[in-house]
Structures are given as structure tokens and as C-alpha cells.
Structure 1
């Protein structure tokens, strides 16, 4: 199986995992994952940063670092898609009885996505440099 196919499979699997976590939270279900997060100081915020930062990074790599021009700047489409999903998901919490909208969750989602963009830019530069050496 080609590396790109594996990366896409990882992106799809991680997306499904996050959707499952959101489903559990939306239905008010109990989970050992939630208990673990609650036991860590600022675990909820750290979870937001890590989950959506990781998802963004995986989606950017899976989309082969595809960029679009947005407001005159190059932006990773994967980061934009994850950002739009995060915004919709966080604001939807205002309409779900078992959830509450929390701006700091959105802030930590954004920090995670921002860090993933920085990591992916460095990775892309590294890959471009390595590829130019082999030509």
C-alpha cells in the first residue's frame, strides 16, 4: 500500500475517532477517555489543542500540502476545512442540552490548528529540500 493511501486512511480513521468523541459528549455518555481528561489539569483544553492540531496536521499531509489563496495569502486547505468544522462544532454546542459553548475551547482548537500549520510548513520545506537534493 502506498504511503499516501496510508496517510489518507489515518486521516479518515482519526476523523471518525473525533466524531465518536463528539457523539459521546453530545449524548452525555460516560467514557473512560473523559475521566482521563478530567483527571489532568487543563486536560479539556489540552485535549482540544492536541485533537484538532493533530487532525489538522494529518489532513494537511493527506491533502499533499494543498494550498489555496485566501485574502492574498497561501493557506492550507486542510487547515481551513478543519477550522470550519471546529467552528461549526463548537457553536453547535449552544443548541445541545448536554453541552455548553466555551470560547476557550475554540481558542485552544485554533492554537492547535495554528501549531499544526507551523509544523506542516517546516515539514513541507524539509521535504522540498530533500526532493531537490535527489534531482
Structure 2
């Protein structure tokens, strides 16, 4: 396994642990001062959801190299799908936690963060995988040209398709 992949996996683990800690502390009502501050900022709660969950999707997509699976011919990004499933379960579980409340707005902000930053992470992860497969990792040219061709979807195993094209 390449050092870059290990680093991306470690980063995803650290961000996941930090967010899990934040959720546990919120469930235990241990971060009230932080929540008061966040709720005092206009749309602070929604922006927090968008950025934090989006960041998680980005680093998980980096760790998975932007890989996807096709279900009924629809490409589904693995990293973003896992993050989405966990976020939906966590948001729904708030119905049974006295110190928390389910909010469709929070879930919508989560989905937007996953869509935007998860797509960015998938593209960067796929480009990194492609440059590693070509053996050109580290050059500026490979970073910008390794992605999909015009008209190709961003999702999927871009790295594998690019390697097949170059051989």
C-alpha cells in the first residue's frame, strides 16, 4: 500500500474519530457553550453540518480513491454512500436522545456537504490513484491531467479507466 493511501486512511480515521467524539459529547450535553456559540451565528448550525460532514466525505473519498460501484447502472461513490448512511442513522437516532433533536435542515446541510466536498474528494482521490498507477505521482502535469476526459463522469474508478487508456 502506498504511503499516500495510508496517509489518506489515517486522515479519514482522525476526522471520523473527532466527529464521533463531537456527537458523543453533544449527546451527553457536554458541549453546551460551543453549541450556544454556533447557534448564535446566523445559519451556524447548518454551516457546521455542511462543513464537518462534507469534510468527512472528502477525506473518506480520498481514502477510497474515489471508487464507486454501479447499482442498476447508477454509479454510487463508496465513500460518500457510507458517510451518508451513517449521517442519516445518526440524525434519526437523535429522536431518542433527550438533549438532541431531529432536524431535516441539518440532514439537508449534511447531504449538500457530502455532495459538494465528497465529489471533490472523489475527484482528487481518483486523480491520485491514477498518477500512482502511472508512476507519475508528484508531477504537476499528472495531477491536472489524470482525471476523466470531457464528458466522462467524475464518479467511478477513473484511475483504472485512465490507466487502460494510456496503455
Shorter-normalised TM-score: what interval? Answer: 0.7 to 0.9
Aligned equivalent of 1:16:
17
> How much does 1:41 deviate?
1.4
> How much does 1:120 deviate?
3.4
Q: Are 2:59 and 2:121, in contact at CA under 8 Å, matched by a contact in 1?
A: no
Separation of aligned partners in 1, 2:88 and 2:35: 21
Q: Are 2:94 and 2:102, in contact at CA under 8 Å, matched by a contact in 1?
A: yes
Consecutive unaligned residues in structure 2, runs of 5 or more: 131-144, 148-161
Matched, 1:130 2:146: yes
> How much does 1:48 deviate?
0.4
Q: 6-15 vs 118-127, which deviates more?
A: 118-127
What is the correspondence of 1:1-135 to structure 2 with a 5 Å cutoff? 2-30=3-31, 33-123=34-124, 127=128, 128=130, 129-130=145-146
> How much does 1:64 deviate?
1.2
SS at the partner of 1:75?
strand
Greater relative contact order, per chain length (Cα 8 Å cut-off, separation 6+): 1
Separation of aligned partners in 1, 2:126 and 2:101: 40
Which structure shows the higher helix fraction?
Answer: 1
When residues 74 and 103 of structure 1 are mapped into structure 2, their CA distance, relative to the original with a 3 A threshold, is same
TM-score, structure 2 normalization: 0.71
When residues 11 and 41 of structure 1 are mapped into structure 2, their CA distance, relative to the original with a 3 A threshold, is same
Aligned equivalent of 2:153:
none
Q: Which has the larger radius of gyration?
A: 2
Number of residue pairs aligned between Structure 1 and Structure 2: 134
TM-score, structure 1 normalization: 0.86
Q: 47-56 vs 64-73, which deviates more?
A: 64-73
Q: 113-122 vs 12-21, which deviates more?
A: 113-122
